[in-house]
Every structure is written in structure tokens, then in C-alpha cells.
Amino acid sequence: MTKRTKQGTYYLGRTILLAKLTKQKLGEALKTPTSIEAGDYHWTITEFKESKTNNENYIFGKLTKYKPKGEVDVIDVKSHTEQKKDVDNTKVASSPFVYLPEYSGIAYLHVWNQIQQDVFIRRFKELIEKKYGNFFVDCRIEAISDLATFYKKISDLSSINYISSKVNPPNPMFGPLWRSLMDYLKKRHVNELKIEEKARPGEEIKSNLKELIKKVELDSLEINYTPDIADAAILMATDGYGQGKVHGVEGNKKVVVCTSDTIKNFKFDTEPDPLKLYETARDIFKEITEKRHMEHEEKNI
């Protein structure tokens, strides 16, 4: 009888590397990791594996949570009693992940009550930045939105009265619908741009966001169309290059829709084969790239 493997939810994100942090430095920080302390637990990277297949590199590893001092139950077979034994560095939980430099992409396991999605992002960031003494390095993981889910949430809004976003320059991928915004960031040497729009009292923002998201999801939008800047920034955030919020009205309720609340995800083994996890994640990133007509900026590869 074949043993069934336990499956969990893997989330997709983009790795945003700012200041002096590069993909090579990120890889080195994963290969020879440091450790951090948070409350009663320590964190590090384990099971590092760097491989190349089909001319694409990928890195597999686990974000691991452990206790520097712990106890385990052991059996004394002579007395047939249970006893406690002190053990150093006892594993509490680990979250497998795969990093795909080609897409600046990462897929990581959400571990219930131990390494939740937001905890993974926070600890991963802390480990990478500590490796370089927290000096002039900035590592972030931003969510890639599931456009169908995001569209469903904003399409329920009868009006939009507030839009905000925070975006970062992409590398190496970009979306043609927000290329003008990307070019603006690069031209002005900007690492981060914040945009905020508030409707006038009693009115709503004249945004094409609903129609844009729907057409992108249905792959029916002319890719040479240039959206207004606030709408472009939200599209940029849904592709994993920032964060966005849309406030509006649904019925009699005020509703907030965040790009990070609709994260693209998939089910896979909680103890995965690194190559199979990479292949699964790569196929999803490739599908996202093709459907959203994303391209490589050659000079940045």
C-alpha cells in the first residue's frame, strides 16, 4: 500500500532586493546562513540545495524554527519508565521553500500555528539582512495576487473612494501595463514610491481598476494600453512588486481590499522533493508570466 504524503499550502511571492543586496548575495546568505533569536526560539536555514535544470538555477531550503535547549521523552528499557532527556537545538517546525532567480520568485509552505505566511516573510528577511550586519541591505517578500480572487473582491465594490500603494523597481521581470511607472522609478533612481488617492467628499475615484483587472485575468487587454498611475501601481503590486489597498463601499459596508489578502498559492507535499517542488513552482510562475504578458528587461538579467 502506497503511503499518502501530507500536503500543505505554498504561497508565491517576489523577492525584492534593495540597496546593496543582490541575487548572488541572497544565495550566499542561504548557503551559509546565520541564526536569529526571537522570544524562546531560534531560526535558521537548513537543508540548503542549489541546483540547475533546463539552464535555470533554483535554490531549495527550509526556514527552520528550533529551541536551543529542549527536552525529549525517552524510554528506559530496563526500568520500563519514561524519562526526560535534555537535548540541544530541538526542531520545532520547518517551512520548505524554493527560490527561482529567473522570476525573482519564491514559493514557501505555510505551517499552521508555527510558521504562518507573515512569520515566514519576517524571519526570512531578518536572516538575510543579519547575514550582512543589517548594513545597507533590504530584503522583502511581496505577495503575488491571485487575479481572479482580487477581481471578485473589488468587483463587489459599488464605489472606490481610496487607493494606496507602495511599489519597488522590478528585476528582472516587468509588466507592460505598468512599464511607464517602472521607467519612471528607474529614471529618478527611486527604490520605493508611495501613491495615495482620496476621493472628494461625497464622490468616488474615477478608476478603471475593475475593468483592467478583469481584462488582464481574461487576457483580453491591449498590452500597449497605459493605465493611470494609481491603477498602474495596483497592477504592479498584484504582480508582486509592492503592496496595494483599495477602499470602497459594498452595500452598506465600508470594505478594504489588499493585494496581500489574495495571495496566489498551490497545494504540495509538506516534505517535498526539491526538484518536484521547483518544477511545480516554475510552471506556475511561467503561467503567470505568460498570462500577464510579463517580459525580461535584458540589461538587468
Asked whether residue 301 carries a pLDDT value surpassing 60, the answer given is no
Asked whether residue 138 carries a pLDDT value surpassing 70, the answer given is yes
pLDDT of residue 298: 55
160/291: higher pLDDT: 160
Convert the pLDDT of each residue in 55-75 to its tens digit. 889 999 999 999 998 778 889
pLDDT of residue 3: 59
Beta bridge partners of 255: 248
Convert the pLDDT of each residue in 23-38 to its tens digit. 999 999 999 999 999 9
| Residue that has been written with the C-alpha cell 504561497 in this structure | 11
pLDDT of residue 83: 86
Beta bridge partners of 247: 162, 256
Convert the pLDDT of each residue in 102-118 to its tens digit. 999 999 999 999 999 99
Q: How many angstroms separate the CA atoms of 299 and 182, rounded?
A: 14
Q: How many CB atoms lie within 10 A of CB 180?
A: 12
**Grid coordinates standing for 178?**
505598468
- Nearest to 23, CA basis, from 122, 123, 137: 137
Q: How many CB atoms lie within 10 A of CB 98?
A: 27
